Structure 1
Amino acid sequence: MKKLGLLIIAIGFIACQSENKTNGTADTTNLVTSADSLSFKYDSVKVYSKTPVIINKKNDTTKAVIVFPLFSDKKVNQFVESKIKLTADSGKNYKTYNDYAADFVKGYDDFRTSEKDYPQTWILAIKARVVTQKPAYLSLLSIYMNYSGGAHPNSVFTYINYNPTTHQEILLDSLIQPGSMAKLTAVAEKIFRKNEKLSPTASLKDGYFFEKDTFKLNDNFTVTDQGLKFLYNPYEIKAYVYGTTELVIPFSELKEIAKPNSLLSPTN
């Protein structure tokens, strides 16, 4: 059942969108205003295949839906769009969200040309939602789901961190003291082992995919009210059935690691 969870979520996510099945339509909904300098509204692009499939005596069709925040600042939009279009790491350079969605549907239609009896539809569902919005910190979570046949969908959850004041991406190295990555990793491993109910010396070979049996942090992070949170995707460190794995390092553990006056600084 768990393998179908992400697919069910994606189907529900698409079902909540407008059912106006016009290829390449953009839907502007959910206007959001903020006391901060940034304001945004959620927009969407939807592309539907014109090649229906009959499943359980009902017509269904391949769908590509991308939901994204549209900010008043064009530079922020350009950054967010560039990051979302890289989520799937397809190697293609799409100019617009619509190009991205249309190419996915075209791939299905081309496939159906040679496989007319193919009994399934495909789904591309991407939703980028704002997680944190501050004058100098914007964090989004991009949820990517792609099902094009097989036992289960492929899914990727990616945090996007941006400074709307300097218009620069926020990388982990910019938040910690030089040379402190090893210390940060050691702190994170203790928390990880506690979360996973592992002893300090237990091997990571069984049940985990860490290279050379060595714990490692990735660069998929966000800063929350509780601290520095990392997210590991399905298949990244565990089998798909376990889904995502989150790890939060409290601010109290970052006092000697965080750069002064950074997002991780206790006084910030």
Structure 2
Amino acid sequence: MAAIVFGATLLCGSCVSERKTENTSHSASGQVAADTVQYQVAQYKDFSPYLSGTEEAVDSTIFSARYPIFAEEINNLVKNAIFVDGEQHVEQVSESFLAGFNEYAEEQIDGGNASINAWYKHQNCRVVLNEHGILTLQNAINDYTGGAHGMEVELWFNFDLQEKKLLQLTDIVADNAALLPIAERYFRQHENLADTASYGPSYFFEENNFTLAANFGLTKEGLLFHYNPYEIKSYAEGPTTFVIPYAELKDTLTSKGKKLVSEITAVN
């Protein structure tokens, strides 16, 4: 595809007020429950000035992001969950990504190569749980920077807003040894594997032993674990997500975990 230089980038941003989860809007009275935090959803797009294409079709390299904006104190707490490479704001993420493509495009043009493949990076950080001082964020990042295919990852973050901390699994589960067989049972159910079936070459578990995903989320339905592509399966097999109902975990939880689960599962 021929390289075309376009003289301007486009930036568009918008904010939408939301609360609880992103499928829940404000009530008619505008009142927000005391155990939830208010936030807005920001949307951002920017493009590289270097376009690929022909007179009939033009392709552009794009960065886009959708993410929640909270009050400053909470923004500071969750910032690393939204800007996962340590950036301070969305413009930095965009500038870094587009600068990488622009350098590639200029090298191709200087080398006389008219074929430039467009890149993309889309980031969608979503509020999954926002109740009783517990905030769960799911950050889905989908990008392509050349090669046979792009890459999609999903990162989960759980925060205790009262203690102002990112929750670790050890904050919730006291007995990891007891959790493991429960998790494996639900994993096997999800994968339609018999209890005695070997994982074999289809899975990347070391020495054929089941291991928990580092990625976990507190949801209304239960404790969620998520494996990204290449973690336990090939890219073609895609990601794997399974959920353990909280009732199954009652004997493995810390005192804090029991309190959190009690609040999450309370009838609103």
> What TM-score do you get using the length of structure 1 for normalisation?
0.82
- Does structure 1 conserve the Cα–Cα contact (< 8 Å) formed by 2:133 and 2:160? yes
Asked if 2 retains the 8 angstrom alpha-carbon contact of 1:122 and 1:148, the reply is: yes
1:146-171 deviations in Å (ceiling 9; x for gaps): 11122211111011111122211111
Secondary structure of the corresponding residue to residue 81 of structure 2:
helix
Do residues 126 (structure 1) and 112 (structure 2) align? Answer: no
State the partner residue of 1:27.
13
For the pair 1:77 / 2:63, whether they are aligned, the reply is no
Corresponding residue for residue 23 of structure 2: none
Given the superposition, is the C-alpha separation of residues 228 and 102 from structure 1 closer, same or farther in structure 2, using an over 3 Å criterion?
same
Give unpaired runs (5+ residues) of structure 2. Answer: 1-7, 20-31
CA distance in 1, matches of 2:197, 2:169: 28
Partner of 2:250: 255
Counterpart residue type for residue 127 of structure 1: N
Tell me, yes or no, if the aligned pair for 1:230 and 1:248 is still in contact at 8 Å. yes
Tell me the equivalent position of 1:4: none
- The match for 1:104 is 97
Matching residue of 2:58: 59
Tell me whether 1:200 sits opposite 2:195 in the alignment.
yes
Query: Which deviates the most, 34-43 or 202-211?
Result: 34-43
Q: Residues 104 and 184 (structure 1 numbering): CA distance in 2 closer, same or farther, change over 3 Å?
A: same
After alignment, is 76-85 or 211-220 more displaced? 76-85
How far residue 200 of structure 1 moved from its aligned partner, in angstroms, is 2.2
Q: Report the more deviating stretch, 236-245 or 76-85.
A: 76-85
Distance 1:56 1:199 in 2: 56
Moved over 4 A (4+): 265-268
Contact 2:105 2:116 in 1 (8 A): no
**Displacement after TM superposition at 1:221 (Å):** 1.2
Letter of the 1:76 partner, please give it: I
Structure 1 portions without partners, runs of 5+: 1-20
Structure with higher Rg: it is 2
CA distance in 2, matches of 1:56, 1:245: 41
Mapped partners of 2:139, 2:51: distance in 1? 29
Distance (Å, rounded) in 2 between the aligned partners of 1:55 and 1:231: 41
SS in 1 for 2:37: coil
2:188 is equivalent to residue 173 of structure 1: no
Preserved CA contact (<8 Å) 1:184 1:257: yes
Cα deviations by residue, 1:128-179 (Å, 9 ceiling, x for unpaired): 01111113200111000111122211111011111122211111100112xx
Q: Which amino acid aligns with 1:74?
A: E
What SS is found at the alignment partner of 2:73?
helix
**CA root-mean-square deviation:** 2.1
2:157 to 155, 160, 164: 160
Q: Match of 1:264, SS? A: helix
The TM-score with structure 2 as length reference comes to 0.82
CA distance in 1: counterparts of 2:232 and 2:88, whole angstroms: 33
- Once the two structures are TM-superposed, the CA of residue 198 in structure 1 deviates from its matched residue by 1.9
**Which residue does 2:142 correspond to in 1?**
145
Q: Residue type matched to 2:133 in 1?
A: A
Q: Distance in 1 between matches of 2:115 and 2:131?
A: 48
Q: Do residues 222 (structure 1) and 226 (structure 2) align? A: no
Question: How far apart, in 2, do the equivalents of 1:241 and 1:146 lie?
Answer: 16
